[in-house]
Amino acid sequence: DAGITQSPRHKVTETGTPVTLRCHQTENHRYMYWYRQDPGHGLRLIHYSYGVKDTDKGEVSDGYSVSRSKTEDFLLTLESATSSQTSVYFCAISGTGGYSSTDTQYFGPGTRLTVL
Amino acid sequence: DQQVKQNSPSLSVQEGRISILNCDYTNSMFDYFLWYKKYPAEGPTFLISISSIKDKNEDGRFTVFLNKSAKHLSLHIVPSQPGDSAVYFCAATGGATNKLIFGTGTLLAVQP
């Protein structure tokens, strides 16, 4: 299994509070991704990073920001959490950003976030 | 606009029989397709993939078929085992994006 951890694994917070989720990898992979999983929507990309300090938006980036100051850490921040951001958040990593049977995205265990 | 569609939210099959999970896509620029498997409280894990230059890829009990003209792919699991019970996500990439576009998932239940 790829060495990816996410913290916290569960969090309950209130509307309007800031929240930061952390993804940590030990694989030295260049690419890191944040997804959210919701019923009826599958997995949707929030933001991704293609190197230290290099990030870009995904399809559902509104209300989220990211930072990557080290290769191994990718942070997702909800500046002011809303109930619509209640979801399960997954981090993923990949080596080249390309795709083959041996190079694809590997996912972390997820963080379940509830915004009351 | 859902570019990758899994129209069956759930599927139930008997142990030992074949499971067929379907996926349709709308973007003709997609050229690489993947299937991920997800157990509850875990992250998705890569299962099998196929490039658009092929129409079939096999890995043990798992085979993925691609019909480019119909923009359709399917995952066959033979024989199905109770441990295969999970949510299966289809994903696609290609064209102007190197990002993965996921379907909504199909929950497979394999009955002993």
Determine, for residues A97 and B98 on separate chains, whether the beta-carbon distance falls below 8 Å.
Answer: yes
Backbone torsions φ then ψ of B82, nearest 5 degrees: -55, -35
Percent of the residues in chain B that have a pLDDT greater than 70, as a whole number: 98
Count CB neighbours of B55 within 10 A: 12
Structural tokens at position B77? 């699991």
Determine, for residues A42 and B93 on separate chains, whether the beta-carbon distance falls below 8 Å.
Answer: no
Nearest Cβ partner for B42 among A41, A101, A109: A109
What's the pLDDT score for residue A82? 97
- The parts of chain A modelled with pLDDT lower than 50 are none
Residue B105 per-residue DSSP state: -
Determine the Cα–Cα distance for residues B6 and B33; give it in Å rounded to an integer: 13
Q: Does residue A101 sit at the B interface (CB-CB below 8 Å)?
A: yes
Determine the Cα–Cα distance for residues A35 and A94; give it in Å rounded to an integer: 14
- Cα three-residue angle A97-A11-B44, rounded to 5 degrees: 35
Q: Which residue of A has its CA nearest to B102?
A: A43
CB A105 within 8 A of CB A32: no
Question: What's the mean per-residue pLDDT of chain B?
Answer: 95
Question: CA dist A87 to A40, A79, B38, Å?
Answer: 12, 16, 16
Q: Which residue of B has its CA nearest to A47?
A: B99
Average pLDDT of the segment spanning B44-64: 96
Count CB neighbours of B54 within 10 A: 13
Q: Does residue A93 sit at the B interface (CB-CB below 8 Å)?
A: no
What's the pLDDT score for residue A2? 63
Q: Which residue of B has its CA nearest to A33?
A: B99
Q: Does residue B7 sit at the A interface (CB-CB below 8 Å)?
A: no
What's the pLDDT score for residue B76? 98
Determine the Cα–Cα distance for residues B90 and B3; give it in Å rounded to an integer: 11
Determine the Cα–Cα distance for residues B14 and A38; give it in Å rounded to an integer: 28
Q: pLDDT for B61-94, tens place per residue?
A: 999 999 999 999 999 999 999 999 999 999 999 8
Q: Which residue of B has its CA nearest to A106?
A: B45
Contacts of A4 in chain B (CB under 8 A): 43
Determine the Cα–Cα distance for residues A104 and B96; give it in Å rounded to an integer: 18
Preceding amide of B79 cis, omega within 30: yes
Q: Does residue A107 sit at the B interface (CB-CB below 8 Å)?
A: yes
Residue B15 has pLDDT above 90, yes or no: yes
Residue B98 has pLDDT above 90, yes or no: no
Determine, for residues A109 and B99 on separate chains, whether the beta-carbon distance falls below 8 Å.
Answer: no
